[in-house]
Structure 1
Amino acid sequence: MEIKGGTWRTLFLLLLGQLVSFSLAICSFITSLISDFGVDAPLTQSFFSYMLLALVYGPILLRRMKTLPIPWYRYLVLVFIDAGGNCLAIKAYQYSYITSINLLNSCTILTSFALGARYSFLQFVWVGTCMAGLTLGILSDSGSADVQDFSKRPLLGDTIIVAATFFFAFSNVGEEYCVKKKDRVEFIAMLGTFGMLVTGVQLTLFERKKIEAINWSPTMIGLFTGYVVVFLVFRTSAPFLIKMSGATMFNLSLLTTDVWAVIIRIFFYHQQVNWIYYLAFAIVAIGLIIYSVNEDSSDDVIAASTTEHTTQYEQLPGELIAGANLD
């Protein structure tokens, strides 16, 4: 039964990981469509997304009526970071392609690694491999701009998304701590509430004219609604995956987002993907697999070491008592 249960749990985690990956790819696709309509309103997209999170998870948190284990001002700082990364990522679609943006999002994992401060030989190999792949991804963009689409400036878009990944890395570190050590529902509720407040103030100050210029046709309303709903699915499933399986499964699941992005670009946009991109993707995938194997091995060593020290600590009182009896 344990093997069967473990098998079903693994299958469930794989499916959950693909739900996370697919929902993120759909968010990217819808954002790309909104950009194609000439709409540049990242704060507005973020505001409605956070608002839905607050409306869904806020009442659940209020019904519990318990003291927050994490001070509210820490959530506020985390929201500033998350909202900044989210807005930059949306902005990048004005200049670059869905495939490149999703591939460069892998930089988030690199930055998270640096924040974790866990260094070994294999991890240095992983970092070098991933950086080589990401560099190839940028090079593929430099020679693949569509001559018929003068609005695209891939290198600028790549620079923006790389900047966004630094925000996401800090946000992911805080998210992993909240969902593993504290409360997953509380994290999502506070993220939505403070995110709505922060982006609401920002769009009032910086994006009012852009909102007025948007042609709120049924198509545009449908795109914004679709983005908000899929964002809710992503924000709901991602913390659940992190809590159940940890960062490794989450990182590898996000890697498959690039596959979905390639499928969307080829079959919907009818655009050819530079062959260098496939090479870049393969290299990044190899780097992440190296990291995942090494992370699992490191966790096993740490767990074994912890168990050994605990066992020794527990035996000490017995040994002292035995010694006292001999005396």
Structure 2
Amino acid sequence: MSESKDQITVQATGIDHDTSTHSLAEDAQGAQTSQAEASEHPVQPADLVDQKKGSFGYFKTKEFYITVILGQILAIANTSTSTFTTLLGQEQWAIPAFQTFLNYVLLNIIFTPYTMYRYGFKGWLRLVYRDGWKYIILAFCDVEGNYFIVLAYQYTTMLSAQLINFWAIVVVVVLSFLFLGVRYHITQIAGILICIGGMGILIGSDHITGTNGGDISHGRQLKGDLFALLGATFYGLTNTGEEYFVSTRPVYEVLGQMSFFGMIINGAQAGIFDRTSFHNAHWDGKVGGYLTGYTLCLSLFYCLAPLLFRLSSAAFFNVSMLTMNFWGVIIGVKVFHYHIHWMYPIAFVLIIVGQLIYFLAQKLLSEARKPWLGTNQERGVVGLFTAKRKIVHTIPAAAGCHDQTAEHIPEHTPTANISSV
């Protein structure tokens, strides 16, 4: 009897030993599996930087305030160009293609020589040979967007043209979703819709006060609407393309190439369509001053827009432009003696609220982290306001990623990847 008890005890001890051994083996195997998974899916430097700190975490960053303020500066600059165009019209001066041509000339004078300095003349020629066709398409869309929008106002009402300009936002969102892999959060969609609602109030107040302008007495409104739709489509293509280019190339290269080819395309277009207007135009000191103001404001707009594309997106860029009407009235009160309708402040506040909602639930890098550049933005450029620059500066270990992938610029400019704008 005692022997059987001993056997049972021994067997029980053996079972406990086997169970504990098996448990230890499972723990060891689990630890190895966890280590293997950790090695297969390591924490990325970009994920360490791009953390979500509450729904309002992005509002606490300096990038948020720079983005919103920069968007409004661009809206004011664009409104200023419209003001100078109106002043030129009051002087009976209207040469739309030539008017924009001066902007491309100025940008080309600034950025093309600097690009040659950075890359060398042979490097610049290689750039033109290799990527020139891409910039020709970008410049063509930009030139035609400007041309058709200006042309549209000669045939349709301002109300119709402004409503159709919403199409640019749709084009940007669809193109970014389909071709750039951008996925929009529900708060971003809600913010865009609220901004559009605010713009609707602005347009409605213009309609009530009869300040929409335009001549539809000859039944040409449909023609003008089609021109506005075409111009908005070109703007959407340009904004999306420029956002892609400035995320992978230095700003000076993008602006230099776009202005170089834009100057050629716009110059040819002005020579074809504006010859008669040019010879019959009235020239004096006022016209020269207004042209200078228009060119400087538009050039400032072109210089700052790429920075907003890097900080945010082409979608937010177009949303920011919705406040142009409000700033236009503010300027018009002093220059053209406009009267502010009571709906204007409400509309402006609504658009700003929509922009704030747009950035709800955003992580710290927000839209600066472009999905087409890779997890750590390894295919991007280390430039001003880029997510890659912030990642590299925040986590020095991530600097290795930009050593392996440059900006896809000429090989003989090795320092451009670090210091390019």
Q: TM-score range by the shorter chain?
A: 0.7 to 0.9
Q: 1:80 to 1:295 in 2, by over 3 A?
A: farther
Q: Secondary structure at 2:235's aligned position in 1?
A: helix
In proportion to residue count, which structure has more helix? 1
Q: Secondary structure at 1:215's aligned position in 2?
A: coil
- Cα distance in 1 between the residues matched to 2:195 and 2:247: 27
Q: Which residue does the alignment assign to 1:68? A: 127
Identity %: 29
Q: Is the CA contact (8 Å cut-off) linking 1:78 and 1:174 kept in structure 2?
A: yes
Q: Secondary structure at 1:270's aligned position in 2?
A: coil
For the pair 1:22 / 2:76, whether they are aligned, the reply is yes
Q: 1:41 aligns with which of 79, 92, 95?
A: 95
User: How far did residue 277 of structure 1 move?
Assistant: 5.2
User: How far did residue 76 of structure 1 move?
Assistant: 0.7
Q: Which residue does the alignment assign to 1:203? A: 270
Q: Secondary structure at 1:40's aligned position in 2?
A: coil
- Segments of 5+ residues of structure 2 without an aligned counterpart are 1-59, 178-182, 377-421
Q: 1:102 to 1:268 in 2, by over 3 A?
A: farther
1:1-327 equivalences in 2 (<5 Å): 16-63=70-117, 64-65=119-120, 66=123, 67-68=126-127, 71-92=131-152, 94=154, 107-117=167-177, 118-119=183-184, 121-145=186-210, 160-161=227-228, 163-244=230-311, 246-247=313-314, 250=317, 253-275=320-342, 280-293=347-360, 299=366
Bigger radius of gyration = 2
User: How far did residue 83 of structure 1 move?
Assistant: 0.7
User: How far did residue 109 of structure 1 move?
Assistant: 3.2
Q: Supply the AA of the counterpart residue of 1:22.
A: I
Which has the higher mean CA deviation after the structures are superposed, 16-25 or 232-241? Answer: 16-25
With structure 2 as the length reference, what TM-score do the two structures score?
Answer: 0.59
User: How far did residue 289 of structure 1 move?
Assistant: 3.4
Which has the higher mean CA deviation after the structures are superposed, 133-142 or 69-78? Answer: 133-142
Q: Is the CA contact (8 Å cut-off) linking 2:157 and 2:215 kept in structure 1?
A: no
Q: 1:188 to 1:11 in 2, by over 3 A?
A: same
Q: Supply the AA of the counterpart residue of 2:231.
A: A
Q: Is the CA contact (8 Å cut-off) linking 1:88 and 1:164 kept in structure 2?
A: yes
| Deviation per residue, 1:74-129 (Å, 9 max, x gap) | 11111111111112333355578989977875653343122222355445544544
Which has the higher mean CA deviation after the structures are superposed, 38-47 or 199-208? Answer: 38-47
Output the aligned Cα RMSD.
4.0
User: How far did residue 258 of structure 1 move?
Assistant: 3.6
Which has the higher mean CA deviation after the structures are superposed, 131-140 or 219-228? Answer: 131-140
- Segments of 5+ residues of structure 1 without an aligned counterpart are 1-5, 308-327
Q: Secondary structure at 1:224's aligned position in 2?
A: helix
Q: 1:257 to 1:133 in 2, by over 3 A?
A: closer
Q: Secondary structure at 2:360's aligned position in 1?
A: helix
Q: 1:278 to 1:17 in 2, by over 3 A?
A: closer
Q: Is the CA contact (8 Å cut-off) linking 1:133 and 1:284 kept in structure 2?
A: yes
